[in-house]
């Protein structure tokens, strides 16, 4: 145990030096690519990890040093925020693991450790590294999911603009593909915007629609119903033959809705 304590102290005292050497060796491996700022960040990360490893050697049990999980989560958050892919993180671990094991084995031999003690240190290293990888990936995916959800919400917001065209009249141009998620967003968010704008006449233009599913169609009918209950007159334009056939086929009754070929026709009818 005395020899292991010596290794633990050596790791703690020389963590930064070892991190520099390990990063330098890893960066020279074939097919390993990283920017200089990434290598500098790796030195900081590995310095902390080596210190964690040193502290863990004072216990014969597989206890995770206090702070390692939080440290790993911080790395995951930072990596996700920087826009890196998780595959890039994973790809860097195999060469990192091999270089670390070589260093730890040599250090252990220099301190006169037995074969069993060398195995103990390497097993402890692998255990901590795997814990760190797991925590890093878990938080990475959580942060990435939040970023994706935020981006999707921003895209949804931009994809369904309410455009005022004259006093108390606005157009809701629908463009691209309408699925249930996008239709639900219109129901839950765009209606509030329409009410805030004090619109009395709303023209929903379908001329830019590429595809629409049955669930989305029913959502749109619900949107029409809600707006009508609020005293807003809804007109629909640009419903092409294919879309009209789909609506009929799905059994949705649009007969009570005023429809026009173009937005211009709807505006002219309203004026008259």
Q: What would the pLDDT profile of 207-243 be if each residue is shown by its tens digit?
A: 887 777 777 777 777 888 888 888 999 898 988 777 7
The least confident of 13-22, 87-96, 131-140 is 87-96
Pairing of strands 169-178, 163-166: antiparallel
Q: What pLDDT is stored for residue 152 in this prediction?
A: 67
pLDDT of 199 over the 80 cut: yes
Q: Which of 127, 152, 177 marks a domain boundary? A: 152
| CB environment 135-144: b (16+ within 10 A), e (fewer) | bbbebbeebb
Contact between 80 and 147 under an 8 Å Cβ cutoff? The reply is yes
Contact between 123 and 100 under an 8 Å Cβ cutoff? The reply is no
- CA 189, distance to chain mean position in Å, is 22
pLDDT band of residue 57 (cuts 50, 70, 90) is confident
pTM exceeds cut of 0.85? no
Q: Residue 78 is part of a domain; what is its CATH number? A: 1.10.490.10
Q: What pLDDT is stored for residue 61 in this prediction?
A: 64
Q: Which of 152, 179, 195 marks a domain boundary? A: 152
Q: Which H/E stretch holds residue 130? A: helix 115-159
Indicate if 14 and 98 belong to the same structural domain.
yes
Q: Residue 178 is part of a domain; what is its CATH number? A: 3.30.750.24
Indicate if 96 and 146 belong to the same structural domain.
yes
* 37 in any annotated domain: yes
Percentage of residues of the chain with pLDDT beyond 90 = 20
* 157 in any annotated domain: no
Q: Which of 117, 152, 187 marks a domain boundary? A: 152
* 158 in any annotated domain: no
Indicate if 84 and 9 belong to the same structural domain.
yes
Query: What token pair was written down for 183?
Result: 């239709």
| Helix, strand, coil percentages in the chain from 3-state DSSP, rounded to 5 | 65, 10, 20
Show the domain range for 122.
Answer: 1-152
CA angle 177/178/184 to nearest 5° reads: 150
Residue 269, C-beta contacts closer than 8 angstroms, at least 6 positions apart: 235, 258, 260
Q: What pLDDT is stored for residue 250 in this prediction?
A: 67
Contact between 132 and 68 under an 8 Å Cβ cutoff? The reply is yes
Structural Rg of the chain based on CA atoms: 31
């Amino acid at each position: 145990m005395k020899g292991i304590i010596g290794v633990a102290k050596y790791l703690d005292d020389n963590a930064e030096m070892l991190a520099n050497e390990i990063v330098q060796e890893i960066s020279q491996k074939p097919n390993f690519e990283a920017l200089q700022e990434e290598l500098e960040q790796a030195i900081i990360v590995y310095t902390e990890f080596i210190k964690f490893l040193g502290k863990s050697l004072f216990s014969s049990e597989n206890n995770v040093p206090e702070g390692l999980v939080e440290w790993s989560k911080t790395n995951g958050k930072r990596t996700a925020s920087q826009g890196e892919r998780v595959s890039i993180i994973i790809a860097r671990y195999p060469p990192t693991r091999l270089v670390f094991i070589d260093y730890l084995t040599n250090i252990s031999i220099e301190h006169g450790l037995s074969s069993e003690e060398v195995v103990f240190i390497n097993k402890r290293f692998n255990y901590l590294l795997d814990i760190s990888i797991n925590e890093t990936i878990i938080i990475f995916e959580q942060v990435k999911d939040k970023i994706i959800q935020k981006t999707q919400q921003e895209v949804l917001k931009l994809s369904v603009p309410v455009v005022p065209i004259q006093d108390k009249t606005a157009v809701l141009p629908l463009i691209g593909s309408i699925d249930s998620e996008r239709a639900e967003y219109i129901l839950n968010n765009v209606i509030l915007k329409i009410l805030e704008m004090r619109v009395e006449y709303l023209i929903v233009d379908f001329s830019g629609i590429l595809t629409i599913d049955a669930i989305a169609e029913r959502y749109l009918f619900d949107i029409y119903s809600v707006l009508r209950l609020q005293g807003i007159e809804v007109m629909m334009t640009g419903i092409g033959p294919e879309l009209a056939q789909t609506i009929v086929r799905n059994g949705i009754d649009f007969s009570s809705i005023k429809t026009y070929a173009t937005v211009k026709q709807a505006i002219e009818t309203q004026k008259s």
